[in-house]
A and B are shown apart, each in its own frame.
Chain A
């Protein structure tokens, strides 16, 4: 059975007819070619490599059917730099990972970054209070990395949070404003 759905992905409306049993992760990867979202545990909901931001919340896209995303907004790793003001500029989260060697093979990284997008969006909404390393580790329990040992990932989050703290509040909020993203892609 198939259904026509329309999902806003990285600010762009995507209308497709898909089998109703298709998972969101397959929709993103196979239908839209957004292969930055990865599959690590094969739809078990454990590894977090498939994490995307769905209506503002970090969500494991293997745990959601594509048809469930009909009418909703998804941001994937490919969308992160869309928040930037100039081409080539990276999202603070991306900068953090690059600066602090937060990735080795990079397989878990997109999912990690999208979970962190949610964490930092909340942090920014709350006025960017300091995050403890412990709190960061606790909030990453849904994402597994087999390469880094996590310390550099924690440092990457701290680095991103510090970059954001150095900005004025509007600028900070803009890095998480999905509406802005849509504004750039009519």
Chain B
């Protein structure tokens, strides 16, 4: 066995708190992970879903018979076929939360029966021997649609005369709730009232691995169902309840490795139920591996969308007295068990005051259905847009009062613990002022302000913005049971093996959060062994204790605590037997566990091996102390005793530069100070924070799921969605200001869920601060250059917003639309034929790659077209009026190619500038080099 660290040989050290290398890595860096798509079973068939091409339509008929004629196709099913197999609706009472507001239930067939309500809804499923024939067969499924009016926005959905997504409903409102109390008094007393409307579009957390299922039925085991999930135990229950199969005949297994989840794998997917039914029907294993496009069209990882009409009432010194908020959310179709799209705005609003001491809050939540996919959970669960509303409004307050925003923030921080917020959120522990001060000190605000003043004189604009949050480290049963009838406890089974090694079983499967390492560090300390001596298994309902899921920061706080409690229970038994075996009169707690030995604290010479005691208890259970049962395993449950939840916190500060001419934002520095209680592995914590922040930067600056008026997702590719790559984001600096919670054994709090949330506020506030001389207000995301420019134009000189050059628009349209013309492809092919491709010099491009480049191109042009300055430069470039210096590391072949193209005569009509622009696609650098001639930095005036 490979040792984790050289230090693992070291004696009697504490493993908790050390940045050791991860245990899970060795298999992953060798390409030996076991993700869902890596698992195969003999006789397995592949599944493909035929999905709706309309966002709202009645299904007049679905005919799968012709698909069956394709060689290799094994079976094909429509919704009607599945009804015969016992398909039932998903929103059975057990899978609907009990909420304080008024909730309506939509119909919820896993496979569409008579109607579709979103583009991409599954209508038929085809099974075949190889995946390559599936798409051929899918073409042959005949679906007769009767299109219905499509609703795609809150405004449409709430209009008096709006058509309805569900005809039997009186309107499109699925949920309404009033939260908090009455703030009338406080508002009457206020010196100042800030009113603002923030609108955050759909973005979220799509992980790199899409979803997938591998499922089979046999009459002995019942259903064995591998699926990408964060909640295997709850899914097992759900499958049993929805399909009415005995629970003991359903086994759900989360693969050992999952390529990220971030909440997107927490819901019970309709595909799980469909595939279980068809696998039982054909009695062969069925595997479905979701494609990226399917994933995007199904809405996986689409959340964030919320509108906030927020008001804060304050004194003239900046002390906030109360807030009012009306949160309106387009949740999509809403046919999703448990979460139903309404839980995210609820959870976000519940946390809205975060670490601010705001005595009164009056909140209204309205959720409407539309013909879009249902929102799915995404890391930060509802908080991302809420943080923009809250931290953005506080920034406005400071501006109106002409106070330093940081001062206003500090003035309003909660200082006494425990604290219950105006919405009822419980903050158990923390040091918000200390954490905040550490942030301010780290960022060195004074020198940023100095630089800001100096640069402004040169016509450059930098700014600093604050955002932050508290997050719950798991949620206790007290909170979960009334809503979801689900427990909040952490649970772990710990076994000491005969060899003295430790085996831990937990129900909740990780997907990158380092559970194996973290649990091993903790139990190594408990048992005086090394992390290598500890093994963790998880996620199989057959062998692990029932757990409510790997969600919401539960691992480090709840699960780890349960494992510690189980270990301590076993240690009592071990102590008892050790005293007996050593023939000493010692109580069980008089032993320490060190290096595989059990040492009597009163006389360290007296010691025995952990292994020896284990063998005595498990393998040779004779002559045990009176009343001692054999065996050395224990399952423990953890709930914090006196509090409903434990609280983590983080404080973010961004320093940005904004180029007003182009609207481009550059993040100069991003600093986070975090309270995650006792950090178990600081390297892991740092990774969680950095990854979460970068996801938040993506959501704030680049990403948006764009739907057209037909309810079709316009960007169904990773390229089109623009998740940030390494060059798009800064290094995120992380600092620790941890306050261990008194409410669990090690003082640990979770870290991982919330990190993206404060980014929205921090960046928007920084951009506004940078543009303070213009008095710009940003109220919506993403912070794309055109939006920033438009915001400036709106306050400076509305007429100054130049139209893009007239040749750009037709090209953008050509590329942004779905039907790229064949002639364009041909054009590209002609060019690419003779050109070396930077990463693959000897390889001719495949047509998919060209499609990818077309998208790239569309986007680059989109971006370029949005900026008059860039358009101008491009125009000069095309006309040969501007010289371009190439970076020395640019491929000389490309430079020559560029020269040749620049000297080509300018073509007329059609795809006018393709000849010039397309070769630039050969290398992203090429266009970037071109664009970088725009006076972006330093020379903007």
Stretch among B75-83, B203-211, B266-274 lining the A interface: B203-211
> Does residue B731 face the partner (Cβ distance < 8 Å to A)?
yes
Q: Given A47-B208, A105-B257, A137-B727, does the pair A151, B690 have CB atoms closer than 8 Å? A: yes
Q: Given A46-B717, A104-B687, A141-B924, does the pair A36, B32 have CB atoms closer than 8 Å? A: yes
Q: Judge whether A44 and B719 touch: CB under 8 Å.
A: yes
Chain B residues whose CB sits within 8 angstroms of the CB of A109 once the complex forms:
28-29
> Does residue A164 face the partner (Cβ distance < 8 Å to B)?
no
Closest A residue to B27 by beta carbon equals A106
Stretch among B230-238, B327-335, B834-842 lining the A interface: B834-842
CA distance A75 to B798 in the complex (A): 56
Closest A residue to B517 by beta carbon equals A101
Closest B residue to A155 by beta carbon equals B731
Chain A residues whose CB sits within 8 angstroms of the CB of B583 once the complex forms:
none
Chain B residues whose CB sits within 8 angstroms of the CB of A150 once the complex forms:
690, 694, 725-726, 729
Q: Judge whether A141 and B727 touch: CB under 8 Å.
A: yes
Q: Judge whether A34 and B31 touch: CB under 8 Å.
A: yes
Q: Which of B19, B38, B726, B848 has the most CB of A within 10 A?
A: B726
Nearest Cβ on chain B to A132's Cβ, whole angstroms: 11
Q: Judge whether B25 and A106 touch: CB under 8 Å.
A: yes
Nearest Cβ on chain B to A176's Cβ, whole angstroms: 16
CA distance A57 to B839 in the complex (A): 6
Contact residues, B421-449 vs A (CB, 8 A) = none
Q: Judge whether B719 and A149 touch: CB under 8 Å.
A: no
> Does residue A152 face the partner (Cβ distance < 8 Å to B)?
yes
Q: Judge whether B846 and A133 touch: CB under 8 Å.
A: no
> Does residue A179 face the partner (Cβ distance < 8 Å to B)?
no
> Does residue B359 face the partner (Cβ distance < 8 Å to A)?
no
CA distance A42 to B719 in the complex (A): 12
Q: Judge whether A65 and B846 touch: CB under 8 Å.
A: yes
Chain B residues whose CB sits within 8 angstroms of the CB of A37 once the complex forms:
31
Q: Judge whether A43 and B924 touch: CB under 8 Å.
A: no
Q: Judge whether B291 and A146 touch: CB under 8 Å.
A: no
Closest B residue to A111 by beta carbon equals B208
Chain B residues whose CB sits within 8 angstroms of the CB of A151 once the complex forms:
690, 731-732
Nearest Cβ on chain A to B833's Cβ, whole angstroms: 15
Q: Judge whether A40 and B31 touch: CB under 8 Å.
A: no
Chain A residues whose CB sits within 8 angstroms of the CB of B25 once the complex forms:
97-98, 103, 106
Stretch among B508-516, B561-569, B741-749 lining the A interface: B508-516
User: How many residues belonging to A are interface residues under a CB distance threshold of 8 Å?
Assistant: 71
Chain A residues whose CB sits within 8 angstroms of the CB of B689 once the complex forms:
149
Chain B residues whose CB sits within 8 angstroms of the CB of A172 once the complex forms:
none
> Does residue A76 face the partner (Cβ distance < 8 Å to B)?
yes
Closest A residue to B889 by beta carbon equals A135
Q: Judge whether B37 and A42 touch: CB under 8 Å.
A: no
> Does residue B22 face the partner (Cβ distance < 8 Å to A)?
yes
Q: Judge whether A39 and B37 touch: CB under 8 Å.
A: yes
CA distance A22 to B851 in the complex (A): 18
Size bracket, chain B contacts: 35 or more
> Does residue A58 face the partner (Cβ distance < 8 Å to B)?
yes
Q: Judge whether A63 and B35 touch: CB under 8 Å.
A: no
Q: Judge whether A41 and B292 touch: CB under 8 Å.
A: yes
Nearest Cβ on chain B to A109's Cβ, whole angstroms: 6
Q: Judge whether B690 and A149 touch: CB under 8 Å.
A: yes
Nearest Cβ on chain A to B606's Cβ, whole angstroms: 39
Nearest Cβ on chain A to B208's Cβ, whole angstroms: 4
Q: Judge whether A148 and B691 touch: CB under 8 Å.
A: yes
Contact residues, A61-87 vs B (CB, 8 A) = 62-65, 68, 76-78, 80-81
Q: Judge whether B29 and A44 touch: CB under 8 Å.
A: no
Q: Judge whether A107 and B208 touch: CB under 8 Å.
A: yes
Q: Judge whether B208 and A44 touch: CB under 8 Å.
A: no
Q: Judge whether B513 and A104 touch: CB under 8 Å.
A: yes
Nearest Cβ on chain A to B845's Cβ, whole angstroms: 7
Nearest Cβ on chain B to A104's Cβ, whole angstroms: 4
CA distance A6 to B728 in the complex (A): 40
Q: Which of A45, A55, A144, A153 contacts B842 (CB 8 A)?
A: A55
Nearest 4 pairs of A and B residues by beta carbon: A36-B31, A107-B259, A105-B512, A106-B28
Not counting A63-B845, A105-B260, A143-B726, a sample of 13 additional A-B residue pairs whose C-beta atoms are within 8 angstroms of each other reads A37-B31, A39-B37, A40-B292, A42-B292, A44-B719, A44-B851, A58-B839, A65-B846, A99-B21, A137-B726, A140-B725, A147-B208, A151-B731
A/B interface sample: 22 pairs, CB < 8 A: A29-B37, A40-B292, A40-B718, A42-B210, A44-B292, A44-B719, A57-B839, A57-B841, A59-B843, A63-B843, A90-B29, A103-B512, A105-B259, A105-B512, A107-B35, A138-B925, A141-B924, A146-B205, A146-B260, A149-B693, A149-B695, A150-B725
